[in-house]
């Protein structure tokens, strides 16, 4: 969804007098439908008749995602939409997110501009597990990347009135809406950056896109260009991008305040187009290589809303930006690169470039900043998809506290992750006959890629690695993101929740005062 404004109005049930022309969305569980039909409550007699006939015909039973349209008999009267949530005892935030995504498709198809959402039932609802995921589902489900269409069709909804039960706290509801709005801003930024065409996000253009998006924040940004990368001995980034249409660079984004004593570093991989280098990718894979910036895109999305999170610690983001292309300047298989701290790397796979970018960024960050923890987000391996499929991403860490915080974060964001083993039994595979280590030790590739990265984490610094290549695109018929079309923006929402959770648990990490 593009950034059209959506007016959101919150009303208690007793205050509700929807305009006759507005569409009313009535949410029901399967049990709630049965109870309404049995007791003849909640709905007008003519509505109950429609619901009873639909249930008897098995057209609408209140199952999760069921939608029933009840068209008004006369022009100007309300259109009623009945939306099923499934069984009451299985309700959760994901239920609301998924049904909202399905509803958004109906809103777009019918070109509805004003909708009243009746959340007055079922009972026992919390705004953070109902309204927040519902708004996220509406926006995520409605998303489209229409920048290059001559005839754009923006999402039509301009006003959403949410009717809440009397027991639900309005202040808490507004906080839930506020959180949802910032989450969606971050998600949209991540999705837009990832979906952008590669000829419009070469390294120079991608840097400018990021600077423009973050221009309204108070973050300090500076860039190391190709020459400055050389002066800093960041030779791995230089090697990967030296054949690009623009030369590679390292963009640093600082959110630093003088009274903060804890600093988190975060690195987002940005390969603006990955042809694989001289070990070129297949023709089937190449069209998707615009998406190799997804890690950086999620980091930028999360950084865009930092000020709203009111964190008590510093965050420094590093975005290594390069194109992995082919010409006479391409780095070659069997090349050997010297790194900032002297470790040498044999290049035995030019299509294992992302880890080289991350490695240099790790070294620079650890030398320039007093970090208490570091994390990275990258579309690093295809192996993570072979291991986990495309419904979840993998994470690796050397620190149990980071693992706990990430687990709490993705349980709130509803983005799925699975912890992968940082298995050191495979570490001997890193050895090279021509250098200290090689960049592609072989299978199991997601694990050995993580072990390669760990070589550049010093003094046992707490480190978290998110390998998100498996979830850049949705799986077929994904209930939230739709079919395999637009990038998901994952893990931007998890990063925001992780930042919040870390803020509450800084004392768990050494060096915090």
Active site residues: 281, 355
State the Cα torsion 407-409-410-412 to the nearest 10°.
120
Which residues 6+ apart lie within 8 Å of 438 measured at CB? 345, 346, 347, 348, 430, 431, 432
The CB-side HSE value for 374 (13 A sphere, CA atoms) comes to 26
DSSP 8-state assignment for residue 280? P
The helix, strand and coil proportions of the chain, stated in percent and rounded to the nearest 5, come to 40, 20, 40
- Mapped onto helix, strand or coil, the DSSP state of residue 66 is coil
Query: Residue 325 CA to chain centroid, in angstroms?
Result: 27
Q: In sequence order, what DSSP letters do the residues of 442-495 get, joined into one string? A: -SSHHHHHHHHHHTT--TT--EEEEE-GGGSSPPTTBTTTBSSSS---TTHHHH
Identify the residue whose tokens are 């791995």. Answer: 236
Phi, psi of 96 (to 5 degrees): -65, -40
The CB-side HSE value for 214 (13 A sphere, CA atoms) comes to 28
> What is the number of residues in the chain?
513
Q: What's the token pair of residue 11?
A: 């009303």
């Amino acid at each position: 969804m593009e950034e059209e404004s959506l007016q959101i109005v919150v009303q208690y049930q007793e205050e509700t007098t929807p305009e006759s022309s507005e569409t009313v969305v009535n949410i029901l569980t399967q049990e709630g439908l049965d109870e309404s039909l049995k007791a003849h409550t909640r709905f007008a007699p003519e509505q109950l008749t429609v619901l009873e006939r639909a249930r008897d015909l098995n057209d609408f039973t209140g199952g999760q995602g069921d939608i029933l349209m009840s068209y008004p008999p006369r022009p100007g009267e309300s259109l009623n939409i009945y939306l099923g949530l499934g069984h009451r005892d299985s309700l959760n935030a994901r239920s609301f997110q998924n049904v909202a995504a399905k509803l958004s498709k109906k809103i777009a198809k019918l070109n509805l501009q004003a909708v009243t959402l009746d959340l007055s039932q079922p009972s026992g609802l919390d705004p953070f597990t109902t309204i927040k995921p519902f708004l996220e589902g509406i926006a995520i489900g409605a998303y489209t990347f229409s920048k290059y269409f001559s005839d754009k069709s923006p999402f039509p909804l301009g006003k959403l009135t949410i009717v809440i039960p009397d027991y639900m706290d309005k202040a808490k509801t507004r906080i839930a809406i506020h959180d949802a709005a910032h989450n969606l801003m971050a998600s949209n930024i991540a999705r837009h950056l990832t979906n952008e065409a590669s000829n419009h996000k070469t390294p120079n253009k991608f840097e400018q896109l990021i600077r423009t998006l973050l221009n309204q924040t108070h973050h300090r940004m500076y860039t190391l260009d190709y020459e400055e990368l050389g002066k800093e001995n960041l030779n791995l980034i230089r090697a990967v991008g030296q054949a690009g249409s623009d030369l590679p660079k390292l963009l640093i984004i600082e959110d630093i305040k003088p009274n903060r004593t804890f600093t988190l570093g975060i690195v987002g991989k940005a390969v603006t187009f990955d042809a694989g280098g001289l070990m070129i990718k297949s023709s089937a894979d190449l069209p998707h290589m615009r998406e190799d910036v997804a890690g950086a895109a999620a980091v930028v999305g999360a950084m865009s809303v930092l000020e709203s999170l009111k964190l008590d610690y510093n965050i420094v983001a590093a975005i290594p930006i390069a194109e992995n292309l082919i010409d006479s300047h391409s780095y070659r298989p069997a090349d050997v690169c010297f790194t900032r701290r002297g470790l040498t790397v044999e290049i035995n796979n030019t299509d294992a470039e992302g880890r080289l970018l991350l490695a240099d960024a790790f070294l620079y960050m650890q030398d320039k900043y007093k970090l208490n923890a570091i994390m990275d987000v990258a579309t690093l391996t295809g192996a993570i998809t072979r291991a986990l499929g495309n419904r979840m991403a993998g994470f690796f860490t050397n620190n149990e506290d980071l693992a706990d915080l990430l687990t709490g974060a993705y349980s709130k964001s509803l983005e799925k992750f699975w912890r992968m083993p940082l298995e050191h039994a495979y570490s001997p595979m890193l050895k090279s006959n021509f250098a200290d280590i090689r960049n592609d030790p072989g299978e199991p590739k997601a694990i050995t890629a993580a072990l390669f990265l760990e070589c550049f984490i010093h003094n046992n610094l707490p480190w978290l690695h998110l390998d998100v290549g498996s979830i850049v695109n949705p799986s077929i018929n994904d209930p939230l993101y739709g079919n395999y079309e637009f990038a998901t923006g994952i893990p931007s929402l998890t990063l925001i929740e992780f930042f919040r959770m870390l803020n509450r648990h800084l004392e768990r990490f050494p060096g915090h005062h």
